[in-house]
Amino acid sequence: MKVLVLGSGAREHALALAIARSPQCSELIVAPGNPGCATVAELAKLDIVDPAAVAAFAKARQIDLVVVGPEAPLVAGVADSLEAAGIACFGPSRVAAQLEGSKGFTKDLCREFSIPTAAYQRFRDRDLALAYVRERGAPIVVKADGLAAGKGVVVAQNLADAEAAIEAMFAGAFGNAGAEVVIEELLEGEEASLFALSDGSRVVMFGGAQDHKRVGDGDTGPNTGGMGAYSPAPVLTVEVAERAMREILKPAVDAMAARGAPFKGVLFAGLMIGADGPKLIEFNVRFGDPEAEVILARLDDDIVEFLWGAATGRLPAREPNFAPDAALAVIVAARGYPGEVERGAEIRGLEDAESVPGVAVLHGGTRRVGAALVADGGRVLAITATGADVSQARDRAYAGADRLVFPGGFFRRDIGARALARPSASQLDVGR
């Protein structure tokens, strides 16, 4: 089977590694990819948010399966163009991708189909939004409706921060993504991520993880696309995960089918787990980054069987097998992230980092300049390690990160701290 992966980050590097291990994969192409992907796949130059260009390329190369990594191509309608060309695509249609592409769309769907989530209101008018937060008070959450690379959410602890977030969004801080804002109550509890695969009707759990969104140690500073993650997440017990599947993920898939837009691909639920059970924070319609790095590090199965099944409406009824090990990823970011970052700094020591048992260095924002590897993005590398438990995986990941020579980079030192602070729940964690 010829497989094309779309994307260029550490998530796509992790997907490429997993797909390359499949006996069903005879040829693997990643577009545009990165230097890490190049170790297991052919790289191709391609505008992945141009549906016609992607379909034409896939047809010319006789691709059997396209796996879409990031959300932007899905929202642009790449899956629709591929389906029209008769090429299987792991990823939802443009309409179904609204589950991520529009937070307001998803909140309305939750209200209609009784999916537990935070109370909310939608606004296209700045003054009405400001009046609403002044009436409701803080803490409160302000979200840009559209895609904002994981940065369009402000958890405002006071009224001034809420007002500033509204002003910034309507002033264009996130482009068209902030033309509408969603303002919602702040949910209490602990966040976790649960993944499920769907072929349009059948839904199968695909592991859970917990990530760290804030840029600084102790969960301080602005939100980012993710500074690290680990899997399994102790808070995602079997009971909690099954309840979330029953009350949140399966109803969402059923809702999209009822609306005539069957969801095919991976549905990623960001959950808040409180005293009254899991509630939906938001959906993503692709594998998370850095969650994908840790979930796929634990996958002990043929991923192509599941990707192909979801794309073609024949998803296996069984859940995939995961190794009992834990996995943890530490994101090495370029100085300035999540704002304007420094590019072009050389990175050395990758082989030394990967000499640590269980460590793999996944490329997120890198490029080659001659023989040198340099930083070319905000989240540059994902130092991913497996171990018998989160503690061992964490020790290995940091041992690997410390062997890098990258003066222009930084990383958090407390990834996994929340898991280590909890009582052991290894017999209950999803994916054990």
pLDDT per position as a tens digit, 383-412: 999 999 999 999 999 999 999 999 999 999
Distance (Å, whole) CA 30 – CA 101? 24
In the predicted structure, residue 432 carries a pLDDT above the cut 50: no
pLDDT at 424: 53
- C-alpha pair distances (Å), 372 with each of 6, 35, 45, 349, 401: 25, 11, 21, 11, 19
Range list for CATH 3.40.50.20 in the chain: 2-91
Q: Which helix (H) or strand (E) holds 103?
A: helix 103-113
pLDDT at 147: 82
In the predicted structure, residue 340 carries a pLDDT above the cut 70: yes
Range list for CATH 3.90.600.10 in the chain: 326-421
In the predicted structure, residue 430 carries a pLDDT above the cut 90: no
Average pLDDT over residues 360-376: 97
Range list for CATH 3.30.470.20 in the chain: 190-312
Give domain 2-91's CATH number out of 3.40.50.720, 3.40.120.10, 3.40.50.20, 3.30.110.30: 3.40.50.20
- At 427, the pLDDT band (50, 70, 90 cuts) reads very low
pLDDT at 421: 87
Average pLDDT over residues 139-153: 84
In the predicted structure, residue 429 carries a pLDDT above the cut 60: no
**Cβ neighbours of residue 56 closer than 8 Å, sequence gap 6 or more:** none
Placement of tokens 């008769």 in the chain: 86
366-376 burial, b at 16+ Cβ within 10 Å, e below that, comes to: bbeeeeebbbb
- The pLDDT tens digits of the residues spanning 268-325 come to 999 999 999 999 999 999 999 999 999 999 999 999 999 999 999 999 989 999 999 9
- The pLDDT tens digits of the residues spanning 48-62 come to 999 999 999 999 999
Range list for CATH 3.30.1490.20 in the chain: 120-184
What is the distance of C-alpha 155 from the center of its chain? 19
Average pLDDT over residues 20-29: 98
pLDDT at 423: 64
pLDDT at 222: 86
In the predicted structure, residue 218 carries a pLDDT above the cut 50: yes
In the predicted structure, residue 97 carries a pLDDT above the cut 90: yes
State percent of the chain over pLDDT 90. 90
pLDDT at 136: 93
In the predicted structure, residue 425 carries a pLDDT above the cut 50: no
Interstrand relation of 181-184 and 190-199 (parallel, antiparallel or unpaired) = unpaired
Placement of tokens 């990967």 in the chain: 354
Superfamily of domain 120-184: ATP-grasp fold, A domain (3.30.1490.20)
- Average pLDDT along the chain: 94
- What fold is seen in the domain 326-421? Glycinamide Ribonucleotide Synthetase; Chain A, domain 4 (3.90.600)
pLDDT at 170: 93
Q: Enter the DSSP assignment of 249.
A: I
Average pLDDT over residues 178-195: 93
- What fold is seen in the domain 190-312? D-amino Acid Aminotransferase; Chain A, domain 1 (3.30.470)
pLDDT at 422: 78
In the predicted structure, residue 362 carries a pLDDT above the cut 90: yes
Average pLDDT over residues 218-226: 90
- At 74, the pLDDT band (50, 70, 90 cuts) reads very high
Question: Nearest 5°: CA angle at 183, between 182 and 187?
Answer: 120
Residue from 209, 295, 205 nearest 244 by CA? 205
